[in-house]
A and B are shown apart, each in its own frame.
Chain A
Amino acid sequence: MIRIKGLIKKFRHVTALRDLDMTVPAGTIYAFVGQNGAGKTTTLRISAALLPPDGGTVEVAGCDAVKRPRAVREIIGYMPDFFGVYDDLRVGEYLLFYAAAYGIRGPEAARRRDNLLELVGLGEKREDFVDTLSRGMQQRLCLARALVHDPPVLLLDEPASGLDPLARVEMRKILQELGRTGKTIVISSHILPELADFCNYVGMITGGRMVYEGPITQMIAAAQVQQIVLRVAGKKVPARKVIEAWPNAEVVKLTDEQIELRLAGGEAEAAALLKELVQAGAAVTHFARTEQTLEDAFVQIASEVK
């Protein structure tokens, strides 16, 4: 659905994007993750035809963002990370204004307004002025605005930034609902765990380059790192000696109660380590693998790139 090749963007002496490649398959919810300043917003703005690239190509549903910017804007719904609202408009008028700016007027615009306000849970706020809404409500209204022309692709730049936990949950529910309708959604964020639950594809950007792209599950597997929590009764020395001698193991945290270690390899490697620990005389009372999170995988991949 979105195909980016060799994208380059420079701002004065700063190179924001260096030969970035990115492919977003149709119908996926794509987690676009990276640290602050990695180039996420720049990539999304170029994809929305809001910023000209200095090199490379961006195609959205086959439309080139440089050759046919208007066609691209009609295909995408864009929600920036920071945005304002017109404080002199009511919620309903706000959506009607943007509907008209996409050429949708009359009863059709009113129908879409009502449906979208219901979707984002603002049906009762239709006659309220936009500036009286809370931050979370404004975020949801902005999402409704991005959906007003029913675009097949959504580009959401940090949609949950600045929201309280409850508002984050609400936003996540709406995005999951949208994902089920078959829309292609790109969500950028530097808060990784909040994306892991409902995104099925991931792209990781560091320093303006894509360092990993693929299904989330594959990425975690590709990282091939597992976190293990180990507890032993009595002295920990034999256990520590085994771990320190083990080629693929690394102690992450050592406390009086337990040892947390990172172990490369899969289940077989963990089983072999456990066997070795028992044979070395360590009284193992607890040996548990923890689930690798998106954040753990990202930290590892980013450190490997460095």
Chain B
Amino acid sequence: MVLSESWKNFREGLADGLLPLLGKEIRGRSRSWRFPLLLSIYLALLSGGILTFLWLNRQVSQFFLQTGLLLYGLFACGLVLLLAFIAAAVAATAISGERERRTYDLLLVTAASPAGIILGKWLSSVVYLLLLVVAALPLLAVVYLFGGVPLVTLGKALLLSLFAGLGYGAVGLAYSAVLKRSQAAIIFSLVTVFALIFGTLIIAGIVAASQRQPGPVPPPPPGKERAWYIYLSPLSALPDILPQNGVPVPIAGELINISRHLAAGAAGVYYEESPFGTPATLKPGWPAWARFTVYQSLLTLISLFTAALAVNPLPPWRKWQLLRGTKEPPPKKD
């Protein structure tokens, strides 16, 4: 009886938050000047990067042979990074913005549950991301025209970008729910995303370098994790869907090469020879992009759960304390 009522409350609370918020957010964003502005900047950055690359390589003799592959590498890397940071920054204002606008209490006092509110906010950012991905399709078509990249690989790049945006968007949402000010939430979100994308690989690179013995590098045992945390970075997944001849992106390209080496052991797919030597023979295992999507899904779940707890005026442990009549915890400021 109690369980069925709880389930009914959960279901209704979820629907009462998710559907109205999704509709309102989409309507609001379509009316705001911010979305066209952000979309313009985003497309300008992507197309600007591609045009700059074409201009810089206009006199290279083997230009047309490698252009498609290199352009694709540039595009995939740029798309992943842009979506990751945009998603985090946009979601970081979702809840704190409600507090600052003083609409937070009005939202919480409705029949919408905290989970419904958070899911509504998150799904609206998903829609936002989808729009950004769709907006980038014409550029992807340009890349495809140069040839050399199968459609499946292009699809994987889009999927990877989307997962990066979803996970880091959820991180931004969690910060937005926990911190009261949008400014603080944006800063924390961007720093966290930066640390997850670049920091994990830099740390893994330092650790690997410090452990390296003189002589040939012995392959790690199959399936043994070398640095599991590198899969929190989309750059670790990019080698799976990028050409072997590198990515023409400063810093990120180098990190992708590092992750190409590190990912081998972690994924149970390792190089039999030195990773920087001749092309390696790989043993089968979970591909890096699949690992990244799994990790990103976990990050999303944890972040959304944290956010839902943070917006709940009466979190479960507090309710339990009150119903048990135990001593109250240190009171927090209103």
Contact = CB atoms under 8 A, between A and B. Distances in A.
Interface stretch (B10-18, B158-166, B255-263, B264-272): B10-18
Interface stretch (B26-34, B185-193, B244-252): B26-34
Contact of A52 (B12, B32, B106, B314): B314
B213 to A, nearest CB: 56
Contacts of A69: 313-314
Q: Mostly helix, strand, loop or mixed at chain B's interface?
A: helix
B178 to A, nearest CB: 17
Interface in A56-104: 66-67, 69-70, 73-74, 76, 78, 80, 82-86, 88-89, 93, 97-98, 100-103
Interface residues of B, number: 38
Nearest to B112: A101
Given A52-B322, A100-B19, A85 B103 contact: yes
Contacts of B106: 78, 80, 83, 98, 142, 145
B84 to A, nearest CB: 26
Nearest to B331: A10
A65 B332 CA distance: 19
B212 interface: no
A54 B328 contact: yes
A278 B313 CA distance: 66
Interface in A90-141: 93, 97-98, 100-103
A86 B101 contact: yes
B59 interface: no
B283 interface: no
A108 to B, nearest CB: 14
Contacts of A73: 109-111
A275 interface: no
A78 to B, nearest CB: 5
B101 A103 contact: no
A272 B13 CA distance: 66
Interface stretch (A42-50, A200-208, A251-259): A42-50
Contacts of A78: 105-106, 109
A97 B23 contact: yes
A253 to B, nearest CB: 41
17 contacts: A12-B333, A42-B334, A49-B313, A50-B313, A51-B313, A54-B331, A55-B328, A66-B319, A73-B111, A80-B106, A84-B101, A88-B27, A89-B24, A89-B27, A101-B21, A101-B112, A103-B15
Interface of B: 9, 12-13, 15-17, 19-21, 23-24, 27-28, 31-32, 101-103, 105-113, 313-314, 318-319, 322-323, 328, 331-334
Interface of A: 9-12, 42, 45, 48-55, 66-67, 69-70, 73-74, 76, 78, 80, 82-86, 88-89, 93, 97-98, 100-103, 142, 145, 149
Q: Which 6 A-B pairs have the closest CB atoms?
A: A84-B102, A100-B20, A101-B110, A84-B101, A88-B28, A10-B331
